Structure 1
C-alpha cells in the first residue's frame, strides 16, 4: 500500500509541474501573392493572384484573388490587358513583343501594385551537352552514422554555354522518359509467337530550381560543366526488374531569364535546400520585384518574370554493369504522351542507339 501511494504521489508531482506553453505569434494580414511567369513563345500566358495564409491557419488552400485589373505596359506606351478567366487566374492571348520592355500593373482594392521593368531575353542556346560517370551523395536525417550517408553511382549530364553577351542567366527544366519492354505470347496463323510490348513513363525533377549564371569572381562569362540531370545506374527503381530497359529520352527546356529573376531563384533555392541544420540559412521573406506603389508599407510577395525558351532532346543508353554509355542528340521532336504502352508496333518516338528520322 505504501509503495503504491509513493508511486501515485510521484506521478502527481510530475503532472503538477507540467505547463502548456502557447507562444505568442503576431497576426499578419494576408498578403497579395503574384505568380507571373510569361513566355514570349506562347500564344496564351496567365498570371495568378492569391493570398498568403497565416502560420496558424487551418485552411490548406490559398485564397484566390478576384476582381483585380491586370495589365502590362511597354516602353513605347503600349498596353496589354489580362482578363480574369477563372477566380484568381488572369489570361491574355496576345503575343509579347520580343523587342519591348514590359512593366506589370495590378490594381486591387484601391491599391496599385507595380513591378520593376523587365526586358525580354534573347533565345537561349546550349553549346555542348555531354555526360560523365559520377556519383551522388545524399544524406538521410541528421547523418549521425555512416548508414545515413548514401552514395549512388550513375551518369551526370552536363552542359557548356558560351557567353551570349546580353543573356547570361538560365533556368532548366527536364523531363525524363524511360523506355522499357515486355513480351506476350500469342498464336499467329496457327503458330505460337512471342511479341513485344513497348512501354514508357515520364519522370520529372523535384527539389530546388536548376539555374545557371556566370561564375562569381571571374572575368569570363562562359558557363562550363553545369549539371543538368543525374541518371542513376539502378534504373530498376523506375521499372520492374523483370523487364528490359531500353534507354532514356531526355527533354531539356532551357529558359533565358533576367539577372533579377536569377537572384530570386537563387535565394529561393537556399531556403528550399535548408534542412534545419545549424549552418543552414535563416528563413526570411523573399524579396521579389513587385511593390505597392500607392502604399509602400504594404508587402506583396512573388515575382514578375519574362522568359524565352529553347528545347533540346537527347537519347541516353547504358547498362548497370558496364562503364560505357551512349548519349546522342535527337534532331526530330515527336509528341510523347506522359506514359503508356503499345503492342507489336514500335512507337514513332521510340529511340535506340542508331535510327533514322523522316528528314534524313
Structure 2
C-alpha cells in the first residue's frame, strides 16, 4: 500500500521534473500518493555554463521535503565542481536548496575549456554523491529569431472562452558545430520589458520563461544543416506596451545530457501531470559513491550558450494598454488610483531595475 502525504500548499516545496524548484502559493491542501522508497530520495539538478565569467548552479533537495524550519534540510557540508584533472572549486549556498559559484575566465586553478569534462560532488554529513563527468562541447549559433502575432481561442471551464492575442517566437539555428559534428541543443528564454510608474520613472523588469515544455533538438537525427522551430508563445499584455526584449539561450548538450532532457520531455508529454510518481523517477548521471544501488534523481551537465535578443515594438502587437496608471474603470476609461500595485514605484516589481540594460537600444 502506498503512503500519502497531505501538505498545505503555502509551505511545501516540490522538485519539479525539469529540475526547477517549484514554489506554489495557494490556500488549499494537496494529497499526493507516493511510493515509500522515493519520498526521501535525493534530487540534484544543476549545470556549469562556460562564459565570461563562467558560472555553476545546483538545486539540491529531496523528492518531497516538508520541514519549513530547517534551513539546511540535507545537512550538506560541501558542494564542489570538479574537472577531469582532479581540480575542485567550492560552490556556496545562496538559498536553502541552491548553490552557486562564479568562475572568472582567467582563474589560475580552475579553467573551463571545450573538450574537457566536469562534474559535481556533494558531501553531506553521512554520504558523498557525485555526477559522471560531462564533456563541454562547442555551441552552434542561433542564426535568427523572429516573431509573428496571432490569436488563440482559450477555453474556460464554465464559459465559452475568449480570444487572446499572442506573440509567437521562432528561431533558426545551425546544427553543425565548428568541428563539423552534428549538435544536440536545448533552448531556454527570458524576457525584459519596460514599465513606467506614475512618478514618470521607467523600470526594466526581467522574467525567466518557465513552463512545462522541454525544448530540445537532436541534430544527429536529421540530414540537415539547420533547423527552424517555433519555440515560445506569449500572450499580448502590458508587458509589450513600452518595449519588450526576448532573450533566447541555446545550449550545446552532450549525448548523456540530451538523453536526460529527452526522458524528461517524454514523461511530461506522456503524463501531463508533474505530480504523478512515475514522472519523478528520472535518473541522470548522479550516484552515491559508497552505494551505487541508491536511487539518485536529477542530472548535472556542462554547456556553453549562444544568445540572441529580439526587440518587439509595441506598434507591432497592437499598442497594448500600459500597466500604469492602474485603477478602476468608469465608462471604459481608466481612473488613476493612488499607489495602486506597483504604479507608485515600479521597483516594487520583482526583478526590476531603473538601470537600462546594455542591450536595450530602443
Question: Contact 2:153/2:164 (CA < 8 Å) preserved in 1?
Answer: yes
Name which one, 1 or 2, has greater alpha-carbon Rg: 1
Structure 2: distance between partners of 1:255 and 1:24: 35
Task: Identify which of 297, 304, 311 aligns with 2:307.
Answer: 311
Question: Contact 1:113/1:291 (CA < 8 Å) preserved in 2?
Answer: yes
Deviation at 1:26, TM superposition (A): 5.2
Structure 2: distance between partners of 1:263 and 1:285: 14
Task: Identify which of 344, 347, 352 aligns with 1:339.
Answer: 352
In the TM superposition, 1:271-350 aligns within 5 A as: 271=267, 274-275=271-272, 283-317=279-313, 318-321=315-318, 338-339=351-352
1:78 aligns with 2:86: yes
SS at match of 2:160: helix
Q: Which runs of 5+ in 2 are unaligned?
A: 1-30, 104-109, 320-349
1:251 aligns with 2:247: yes
Residue 31 of structure 1 is matched in structure 2 by 41
Deviation at 1:121, TM superposition (A): 1.8
Task: Identify which of 110, 125, 130 aligns with 2:141.
Answer: 125
1:212 aligns with 2:216: yes
Deviation at 1:30, TM superposition (A): 1.8
Deviation at 1:295, TM superposition (A): 1.8
Question: Contact 1:171/1:209 (CA < 8 Å) preserved in 2?
Answer: no
Deviation at 1:120, TM superposition (A): 0.1
Could you list the per-position Cα deviations for residues 258-293 of structure 1 after superposition, in whole angstroms to 9, with x for gaps in the alignment?
A: 23323323433455565559xx99635112111234
Could you list the per-position Cα deviations for residues 295-347 of structure 1 after superposition, in whole angstroms to 9, with x for gaps in the alignment?
A: 2321112211101022222211134559xxxxxxxxxxxxxx943569xxx99
Residue 229 of structure 1 is matched in structure 2 by 232
Structure 1: distance between partners of 2:116 and 2:282: 27
How large is the RMSD of aligned CA atoms in angstroms? 4.2
Deviation at 1:213, TM superposition (A): 0.5
Structure 2: distance between partners of 1:137 and 1:302: 36
Q: Which runs of 5+ in 1 are unaligned?
A: 1-21, 185-195, 240-244, 323-336, 353-360
Question: Contact 2:78/2:124 (CA < 8 Å) preserved in 1?
Answer: yes
In the TM superposition, 1:190-205 aligns within 5 A as: 198-205=202-209
Deviation at 1:37, TM superposition (A): 0.9
Structure 2: distance between partners of 1:24 and 1:281: 8
Deviation at 1:256, TM superposition (A): 2.1
Task: Identify which of 120, 142, 147 aligns with 2:160.
Answer: 147
SS at match of 1:147: strand
